[in-house]
Amino acid sequence: MIETFFRGRTHVTVEELARAVREGSPGVGNVTVYRTLKLLSRMGYVKELDFGDGARRYESNLSAHHDHLVCTVCGKVIEFEDHEIEKLQNLVTRRHGFLPEAHRLEIFGRCRRCASLAGEAGRR
């Protein structure tokens, strides 16, 4: 299960991961997958995400820090890194004498495809 998670796609739900794991190990259930992800999260290897769609998602915490753009129409998640945003966050925390332990940035809106489709619908 762990190997399937770390080799698979990111932002996976328990159900999606369990389905992938069952392809090679039919006896593995959702509860086993959930408990394993929770344990890996407590150990710092996995991040639990909530993009506001009602599903908890999980991604590896072993890669470089990144933030997310989340399409509110199709659900697409785009990962990005921006050093200017990181510098600004550091400036803000120092200015307030705040010692950050973790942070995340998620920007919600429409991806390029969904924005263009909405524009087409608005012109009709």
Q: What is the pLDDT of residues 53-71, one digit of tens each?
A: 888 999 888 877 889 999 9
Work out how many domains the chain is built from and give that number. Answer: 2
Answer whether residue 124 shows pLDDT above 60: no
Nearest to 49 by CA among 1, 114, 105, 7: 105
CA 74 to CA 115: how far, in whole Å? 10
* pTM recorded for the entire structure: 0.67
Instruction: Quote the domain boundaries for residue 40.
Output: 1-63
Same domain, yes or no: 76 and 50: no
Q: Residue 21: which CATH number?
A: 1.10.10.10
Q: Could you tell me if 58 and 86 lie in one domain?
A: no
* Residue 83 and residue 106 in one domain: yes
